[in-house]
Amino acid sequence: MQAIVKTDFHFPKQKSLYVGKVRDVYNIDDIYMAMVVSDRISAFDVVLPKGIPYKGQVLNQIAAKFLDATADIVPNWKIATPDPMVTVGLKCEGFRVEMIVRGYLAGSAWREYKAGARTLCGVVLPDGMVENQKFPTPIVTPTTKADEGHDENISKEEIIRTGLVSKEDYEQLEKYALALFQRGTEIAASKGLILVDAKYEFGKRDGKIYLIDEIHTPDSSRYFYADGYEERLAKGEHQRQLSKEFVREWLMSNGFQGKEGQQIPEMTSEIVDSITARYIELYEHIIGEPFQKAEDCTDVASRIEHNVSQFLNTL
């Protein structure tokens, strides 16, 4: 299958296009959004040079299922998924922060802790923790939402003090994020997985808060296999995980962390195929059913334009 790394659609009543690191978001009449989840892949806030076939479909379908499974907790933007790679939903004004909930000391949090940090986004961390250890209770570590470049860690106090988000809204975002993480944790546990951390984005429409974008996908969350977790933790071994961290680890082992002057290592067809396989593996584990590759993969762009245009004409 061809990887979709660039789109240039012309949908009914389309007003503008926003191109993110992975998603291309089409503004439909300032009322709806058609979010095309491309096959681009980013790490360390850098878009890598090759796309990953089926990655967009995996992300879009996982997110759609989790949006449906959490709609009782918080309203969300999704209306329909007219194509395997596209979600159409309500256009919301996004908050300028991302809510990251961490249940375990892993990833960038561990890298900072290992370097000596004992405060993360205003949250005090206990001494003596080891990599991938569970926190007593999940913590919220927000970041700013950058249009370009790196998102930056920020504390709750600073968000409220600077007026980035009002106190009332921020406290509601925290409650929603923790409740979503709890639901995600329960669903993951039922599939033999541990939800390690997750990123949530929210927006507002007509004064009401909505969950937007994606949730509990391998791009926005990290999962460990529950089986063997305790033994690996005790031995100080790497956890078996299903997340994008394996891409970061591959890049780091080849001398790339997104820093100036560093070269992205060559993405061979073997590397690309292995990344596709890992994304499909996560889908099948977290959803609990076989991944069905989308039909009509010879001209994916035409398929998307046809399916989405047909749906938008019904709105």
Q: What percent of the chain has pLDDT over 90?
A: 87
pLDDT of residue 97: 97
Q: How far apart are CA 312 and CA 111, in angstroms?
A: 45
Question: Does position 196 have pLDDT exceeding 80, yes or no?
Answer: yes
Q: How far apart are CA 211 and CA 198, in angstroms?
A: 13
Question: Does position 145 have pLDDT exceeding 90, yes or no?
Answer: no
Run of H or E residues at 281 = helix 269-287
At 183, phi and psi to the nearest 5? -65, -45
Give the chain's domains with CATH numbers: 95-243 (3.30.470.20)
**Close Cβ partners of 241 (under 8 Å, ≥ 6 residues apart):** 196, 222, 223, 224, 225
Count of beta carbons in the 10 Å neighbourhood of residue 162: 10
Q: How far apart are CA 86 and CA 23, in angstroms?
A: 10
Tell me which residue of 81, 97, 69, 66 sits closest to 33, measured CA to CA.
Answer: 81
Structure tokens at 260: 């100036």
Q: First and final CA of the chain: distance in angstroms?
A: 31
Question: Does position 147 have pLDDT exceeding 80, yes or no?
Answer: no
* Burial of 223: CB neighbours in 10 Å, binned 0-12, 13-18, 19+: buried
pLDDT of residue 243: 74
Spatial strand order in the sheet of 32-37: 14-19, 23-28, 32-37, 86-90, 78-83
- Residue 282's identity, in one-letter code, is L
pLDDT of residue 282: 83
pLDDT of residue 218: 83
Question: Does position 297 have pLDDT exceeding 70, yes or no?
Answer: no
Tell me which residue of 311, 87, 89 sits closest to 210, measured CA to CA.
Answer: 89
Question: Does position 20 have pLDDT exceeding 80, yes or no?
Answer: yes
DSSP 8-state class, residue 147: S
Q: pLDDT tens-digit profile of 29-73?
A: 999 999 999 999 999 889 999 999 999 999 999 999 999 999 999
What does the buried/exposed string (b/e) look like for 254-274 if buried means 16 or more CB atoms within 10 Å of the residue's CB?
A: eebebeeeeebeebeeebbee
Question: Does position 276 have pLDDT exceeding 80, yes or no?
Answer: yes
Q: pLDDT tens-digit profile of 81-135?
A: 999 999 999 999 999 999 999 999 999 999 999 999 999 999 999 999 999 999 9
Structure tokens at 277: 């396989």
pLDDT of residue 149: 59
Residue entry with tokens 């002057």 = 261
pLDDT of residue 150: 66
pLDDT bin (cut points 50, 70, 90) of residue 148 is low
pLDDT of residue 54: 95
- Residue 10's identity, in one-letter code, is H
CB 36 within 8 A of CB 300: no
